[in-house]
Amino acid sequence: MKYLGGLAKNRKVNVVQKDNNQQTIKLDELAQSLPQEAFVEIQLKLDKPKTLWVVTKEVEISCLSGKRNIAIVMNAATFSQATDIDYFITNVDSSIVTPQWIVDTYSSRNWVEVFYREAKGWLGLKEYQVRDKRSLLRHFILVFCAYTFILWHRMTGGLRRRWASKPLNTFTEALEAFRTAMSFRFFDWLTTNRDVFASYKASLGYIWA
């Protein structure tokens, strides 16, 4: 599995120097020792554009076999001026790991957090009453499908054309429109299929009247 994760600033890494000697050094000390020209200036395209300075290096880390790529990301051109410094590690191939790739990949993490917040809060991602693996996977698949369906309608305007007379700018607005449409369709079906619904409830030991 490929990953991009954070590292503590006091984590020690083994770096190969120009004379081919290995040096064990903490990440914050490594960042401080690097010259300004080692960092690449990257423009992060967000709602508010942000400039970052990034350097990538291949290192060895204790307890991990082989080499790993690390990145040091600062909000200023020099270590002394920076007020926000992040340290990352990845096992992605060195030919892919560039300063721009590090910044673009990590900046997309916010959307992962948005997904989990909305899936948990609105679609019941964590509200399951099953224990075996197969049932858990089915629950997760249903939640992911529902989330994708609602998000697609919100982004394409599908719900606005069919089920709403106002813009649906947020996930919760799209979800409410979806619930309204489903409620109407169920009520419409129920008015002509009361006996089917009553038989179904009776099979469960309930009386619906």
pLDDT tens sequence for the chain (209 residues)? 788 888 999 999 998 877 778 889 999 999 999 999 999 999 887 777 889 999 999 888 877 778 889 999 999 999 999 999 999 999 888 889 999 999 888 887 777 788 888 888 888 888 888 888 888 888 888 888 888 877 776 666 655 456 677 777 777 787 787 778 778 888 888 888 888 888 888 888 888 66
d(CA 141, CA 148): 10
Helix axes 109-123, 133-156, angle to 10 degrees: 110
Global confidence as pTM: 0.59
